[in-house]
Chain A
Amino acid sequence: MTAYTATVTVRLKRGVLDPEAETTARALERLGFAIEGLRSADRFEVDLEAEDADEAIARAEEMAERLLANPTIHDYDVEVAER
């Protein structure tokens, strides 16, 4: 078994309104930053042991499907690295 950290990034699907990101963007503009857009995402770092990287990815993807993301509104991606 190898120790991995799986990083799951969950973000809203394109076209789904993100009021919190819009509010944050407006706050940045009020502070004087010129920006053209802002998207927010949640990042989860999961430490786990797996036979290989493929197994670690598969398990992290199942975590995303079943809990970390809501497939109705979210896309997600998974990266793994040995730790």
Chain B
Amino acid sequence: MTVAVVRFGGSNCDRDAERALDRLGIDAEIVWHEDGLPADTTGIVVPGGFSYGDYLRAGAMAAHSPIMTEVREAAADGVPVLGICNGAQIGCESGLTPGAFTTNESARFQCEHVHLRVERADTPWTAAYEDGEVIELPIAHGEGRYELDDDRLTELEIEGRVLFRYCDADGELTPEANPNGSKHNVAGVLGERETVAVLMPHPERATLSELGATDGRGVLRAFADATES
């Protein structure tokens, strides 16, 4: 199996994602977007960074590159797809996932550790956690505020498609624990299939024990489980 980590001009978390997956024993390779997905792709990471310099809107340009058509087709076939940070923005811009990630309420780039509450532990991305478990991951973004109109967000919540919410250390969804003003503290959502997920925080930066935090391992482990099952 190979997890394809899609590199665009301006991606900068592609090597982090590849290394994190490798450390978890998951075969991964960086794929230049113009080369298309390898035939043996069994998982896809759309990594963080500043693809196309965030021109127009973060993720807007990459969302319309030809490889994203292949990513959408693979997602529809059940191949696990994870969009992280800029990859989450690309995921929403390309229609893989609902909503939009736009300018932080602070209007500033924010780089800090946050707490997240696992809203559902019965998805491939969260099987390593418990329902309601609080995990800690880093964020690093200027456009991470989740926006969706109220009716559609309510539908999404009823469908159980909110995967992570920003919370305090006790799991409370307070405004203070919401780093960017996201609606309903949403930090990550599922696509139409639960094998497709996007989130603004960086699980790949919380995977190596020598760097301290390892709470992100569970998210990436979805790729290993996908192959075994």
Question: Which residues from chain A sit less than 8 Å from chain B, CB to CB?
Answer: 16-20, 22-23, 66-68, 70, 72-73
Which of A17, A66, A67, A73 sits near B105, CB closer than 8 Å?
A17
Further contacts, 18 of them, CB under 8 A, given A18-B103, A19-B103: A16-B102, A17-B105, A17-B147, A19-B104, A19-B145, A19-B181, A20-B103, A23-B107, A67-B60, A68-B56, A70-B57, A70-B93, A72-B92, A72-B98, A72-B99, A72-B148, A73-B100, A73-B147
Those 9 A-B pairs whose CB atoms lie nearest each other, nearest first? A19-B107, A72-B100, A23-B107, A73-B100, A19-B103, A73-B147, A20-B107, A70-B100, A19-B105
Q: Which one, B56, B107, B149, contacts A22 given CB within 8 A?
A: B107
**5 A-B pairs in the complex with CB atoms less than 8 angstroms apart:** A17-B145, A18-B103, A19-B105, A20-B103, A70-B57
* A1 to B98 Cα, complex, angstroms: 39
Q: Is B64 an interface residue (CB 8 A)?
A: yes
B interface vs A, CB < 8 Å? Answer: 56-57, 60, 64, 92-93, 98-100, 102-107, 145, 147-149, 181
B89 nearest CB across to chain A (Å): 10
Give Cα A19–Cα B105 distance, bound, in whole angstroms: 5
By a CB distance below 8 angstroms, the chain B residues around A17 are 105, 145, 147, 181
B contact face: mostly helix, strand, loop, or mixed: loop
A73 CB → nearest B CB, Å: 5
Which chain A residues border B99 with CB–CB below 8 Å?
A: 72
Closest chain B residue, CB of each to CB of A68? B56
- In the complex, A18→B99 CA distance in Å? 16
> Do B147 and A72 have beta carbons less than 8 Å apart?
yes
Q: Which of A18, A20, A22, A70 has the most CB of B within 10 A?
A: A70
What residues on A are CB-neighbors of B181 within 8 Å? Answer: 17, 19
A16, B100: Cα distance in complex, Å: 11
Name the B residues within 8 Å of A22 (CB-CB).
107
The answer to whether B147 touches A16 (Cβ under 8 A) is: yes
CB distance from A47 to the nearest CB of B (A): 18
Residues in B neighbouring A70, C-beta threshold 8 A: 57, 60, 93, 100
Across the interface, name the chain A residue whose C-beta is closest to B98. A72
